[in-house]
Amino acid sequence: MCGIVGYIGDRKTEEILLEGLRRLEYRGYDSCGLAVSNLKNKLQLKRAKGRVEALADIVAAENFKGTVSGIAHTRWATHGVPSEDNAHPHTDCQGEIVVVHNGIIENYLELKDELLKKGHLFKSDTDTEVIAHLVEEKLKTLNKGANSIRAEMPEPVFFEAFRRAVSVLKGSFAVSVLWAKTPGIILSARMYSPLVIGAGEKENFLASDVSAFLKFTKKVFFMKDGEIAVLRKSGVDFFDFGGKKIQKENSTVNWDLSMAEKGGYKHFMLKEIHEQPQSVENTLRGRVLPVSGELLEKELGMTAAEIKKTGGIQVIACGTAFHAGFAGKYIFEKFGLRTEADLASEFDERSRLLEKNTLVLAISQSGETADTLYAVKLAKKNGNKVLAITNTLGSSITREADYTLYTHCGPEIGVASTKAFLGQLTAMYILAVNFAFVKGNISEEKARLCVEELLKIPRWVEETLGLERDVEKLTLSFSGKEHYLFIARGINYPIALEGALKIKEISYVHAEGYAAGEMKHGPIAIIENGMPVLAVAVSGPNLDLIRGNIEEARARGAEIIAIVDRESGKKVKAAHYLEIPATDELFSPLLTVLPLQLFAYYIALNRNCDIDKPRNLAKSVTVR
Ligand code: AGP
């Protein structure tokens, strides 16, 4: 997830762009840049690795005169490590077209190959740079093959070149381009990534979200997929990708700036909970079809032969990431792949006992967790191959590991991990299906059926988040409680652990996650009258057993909150029910965790806790 900003008007363009980037830094902050056009038909381009203030220092030293328009970008790297060369804006061969982009261009390699064959010279490892050269190539074609772009070309030809370019892009994009020869217009297009236009008085704005320009105007046009905006100082026109002009209604935003940065949500954590349909979709995108091990070869550099040679799998991670990996153990084992899962901080002894052909899965949202990095070093020392699963391109873990699979969740600002957890869980399914297929543990038909189910998950996540109001109301009667128990069996046992961690870390209450079958071996002694016990009880082979465990807790006075599907809800006795869409138990963790995230959030809200920055915690624990 990155942030893009554009401005056309009479103010000092570079200042407006920097102000907008500061407001969007939560969307990405590993590098940034801006390009400003002026009346001499020249572009001034400045970029920096690191945060916006690093760019602001560079801009302050530059003399921007006669500015007309500009575009800017703050990056959360997905392709190409964080560096000045990979920072946006990117340019065409002549340096006369600049582009900023938020999203993932899935077919950029094919497009890049075609452009390289036509003599285009690339300067970065990003997918985005392809767009600048594509527009340049379309301009050349429209200019009847002349090898330079004539200055007298009118704006409509630039529009047509841009329209043709975005029409061949596959994947997700909110993209904006400037051409030095037409400083009076900025072009922008949307497909799956957010893009909003701010309409001012003799000035106009574009951005990934309204917080970038809310200070200057509250009159906005929310772009839809397949739409192009043409911004001039005098106004904005809208077209579809076919070039047909369209009329759009404007809206008036009534958020204050602080709410705007959180997309209208009260906290980043709640915003990120609601980003989960998109983060699951982005993590799945291009990685589950066709199931032929292609993903592993193309993206990880793991050949089918290497996969066939791997013996067991060993997960190492911390905290929420460990819960994703622990659920991964159940998932991999469902596909016949022997798997162990250890806390990275407890991996010392076991690291020396690993079979050499055991593949180590190191999971870390930040890629900087000291315990996990240390455990990776131990595994490498023992001669094992390491596959890192991380949300942060270019993080330390990617340099230590042999292979890396990225979860494309965008920056996670809330200290309590939610969308990154679901992204890690999604990555477990992607790897399990691909590994099992390549190793011959499942047929192509079975793999296809699993993929079909996975592709439904984003919609089911969206549907499950519809429980929010029910959960909010339910928590009102629990906010005074100081002790909680979370129980589940089988593949949902790690979800019980995750639910307990979520409520602990943001509400500061005591909570335990337990394997429900273990209750009778001691923990049931702690149950008192009215104690809240959250139980995951979805349809599947564990339902009858968990139903018995719930009865044991109920008989001792527990107040049961059951996470059920329609069928299992009829068979379980509870004081409260939170119903999720029915899916095969194998995939249920992707949904059962959601009501627990919301439950923790609203308990913490009722207890007036600092939800995005809980006491004693850090987003990345870089000490052992
Ligand atoms: C998650 O809610 C916690 N804040 C914490 O447990 C976190 O998952 C853990 O520190 C691991 O972080 P990582 O994924 O960046 O390695």
What are the boundaries of each domain within the chain?
3-255, 268-606
Q: Which residue has the higher pLDDT, 399 or 463?
A: 463
- Report residue 458: phi and psi, to 5°: -55, -40
Q: How many whole angstroms from 464 Cα to the centroid of ligand 1?
A: 24
The 8 Å CB, 24+ separation contacts for 50-53 are: 51/25, 52/18, 52/21, 52/22, 52/25
Contacts of 156 (CB under 8 A, 6+ apart): none
394 vs 411: CA distance, rounded Å? 13
> Quick one: tokens of 460?
């089911």
Distance (Å, whole) CA 535 – CA 557: 14
CATH 3.20.20.80, applies to 268-606:
no
- Ligand 1 atom 8: residue of nearest CA: 320
Please write the tens of the pLDDT for every residue from 81-107.
Answer: 888 999 999 999 999 999 999 988 999
Please name every residue paired with 105 in a beta bridge, in sequence order, or none if there are none: 171
CA of 366 to the centre of ligand 1 (A): 8
Q: Answer yes or no: is pLDDT of 26 > 80.
A: no
Strand partners, 82: none
Instruction: Please tell me the predicted confidence (pLDDT) of residue 63.
Output: 84
| 504 pLDDT above the threshold of 50 | yes
- Is residue 331 predicted with pLDDT exceeding 60? yes
Judge if the upstream peptide bond of residue 458 is cis by omega within 30 degrees of 0. Answer: no
> What's the 601 CA to ligand 1 centre distance in angstroms?
17
Question: Which three-class secondary structure state does DSSP give residue 617?
Answer: coil
Compute the radius of gyration of the chain from its Cα atoms. Answer: 26
Reported pTM = 0.77
329 is catalytic: no
Return the pLDDT at 618: 78
Centroid of ligand 1 to alpha carbon of 621 (angstroms): 8
Residue 94, number of CB atoms within 10 A of its CB: 12
Identify the residue whose C-alpha is closest to ligand 1 atom 9.
319
493 confidence band (pLDDT: 50, 70, 90): very high
In testing the pocket of ligand 1, which one of 272, 273, 345, 365 has its CB within 8 Å of the most ligand atoms? 365
User: 54 and 30 in contact (C-beta within 8 Å)?
Assistant: no
Task: Name which of 205-214, 252-261, 448-457 the model is least confident about.
Answer: 252-261
- Is the model's pLDDT at 149 over the cut of 60? no
Question: Is pLDDT at 287 greater than 90 in this prediction?
Answer: no
Average pLDDT over residues 502-513: 97
Rounded alpha-carbon distances, angstroms, from residue 65 to 14, 36, 37, 99, 269: 10, 10, 10, 21, 42
- Three-state DSSP at 539 gives coil
Whether the Cβ atoms of residue 503 and residue 509 lie closer than 8 Å to each other = yes
Query: Is 2 an active-site residue?
Result: yes
CA 252 to chain centre: 28
pLDDT recorded at residue 127: 94
Residue spans of alpha helices (H) in 150-241 = 155-167
The 8 Å CB, 24+ separation contacts for 133-141 are 133/92, 133/93, 134/165, 134/168, 134/169, 135/92, 135/97, 135/99, 135/161, 135/162, 135/165, 135/177, 135/179, 136/92, 136/93, 136/94, 136/97, 138/162, 138/164, 138/165, 139/97
Q: How far is the CA of 620 from the centre of ligand 1 (A)?
A: 7
Per-residue pLDDT at 432 exceeds 70: yes
In ligand 1, the atom with minimum distance to the C-alpha of 369 is: 16
Question: What is the structure's pLDDT at 446?
Answer: 93
The closest-lying atom of ligand 1 relative to the alpha carbon of residue 390 is 14
Choosing from 380, 439, 446, 619, which is the catalytic residue? 619
The answer as to CATH 3.30.70.100 being correct for domain 3-255 is no
- DSSP, collapsed to helix, strand or coil, labels residue 177 as strand
Nearest CA to ligand 1 atom 16: 364
| Cα distances (angstroms) measured from residue 503 to each of 2, 440, 534 | 29, 41, 12
* Distance of alpha carbon 4 from alpha carbon 175, whole angstroms: 8
Tell me the mean pLDDT in the region 550-578: 97
Residues 618, 615: Cα–Cα separation, whole Å: 9
User: What gap in Å lies between CA 603 and CA 599, rounded to an integer?
Assistant: 6
Write out pLDDT tens, residues 171-195. 989 999 999 999 999 999 999 888 9
